[in-house]
Amino acid sequence: MVCMGNICRSPTAEAVLRRKLEEAELQGWVTVDSAGTHAYHVGNPPDERAQAHAARRGYDLAPLRARQVAEADFMQHDLLLAMDWDNLALLEAECPDDPAVLRKLRRLAEFIPADASHAGVEVVPDPYYGGAQGFEHVLDVVEQACDGLVLHLRARLSQAQGLTPQ
């Protein structure tokens, strides 16, 4: 999960996906992490507002710490999911010149199911300079995107590991 500073959207997405994977009993099959395209907040915990809104829905962001995307991320991860077009472009600019690696770069919002209330939303908007509603909207979009992502991951795991989808 990748946003600009790794203190609002991407740690929120990391925590939401972890929970959704646990609920789907896939936590042992998928590794989840988050990072930022910029080093503005490296080592800092997530934004207090992001933590508070996430906690109201049962997500714990407190243990997470901001870090910047590293070169190794492009090789270690099967998907690097940007929160918006700008961060996707920054990932593309840093990506090794390898078509297989470039295919790993996508937007999280691509996974919002077609029948979800936020279907058609293209990005997870940055709530940093806004009010409480922005953080709630991020959670709404991220939860729906992660629901779709879990379905996608289950299908990929089923193909790769011969698992039977539940």
pLDDT tens readout for residues 91-144: 999 999 999 999 999 999 999 999 999 999 999 999 999 999 999 999 999 999
Please say if 65 is a catalytic residue.
no
Geometric angle at alpha carbon 38, from 36 and 43, rounded to 5°: 65
Which position among 8, 9, 107, 154 bears the catalytic label? 9
**Of 80, 79, 99, 100, which is closest to residue 91 (Cα–Cα)?**
80
Residue % of the chain over a pLDDT of 90: 92
The pTM assigned to this predicted structure is 0.94
CATH architecture of 2-161: 3-Layer(aba) Sandwich (3.40)
Average pLDDT over residues 1-29: 97
**Of 32, 101, 44, 39, which is closest to residue 70 (Cα–Cα)?**
39
Which position among 33, 73, 84, 126 bears the catalytic label? 126
Q: What is the pLDDT of residues 73-90, one digit of tens each?
A: 999 999 999 999 999 999
**Which residue's structure tokens are 């099967």?**
78
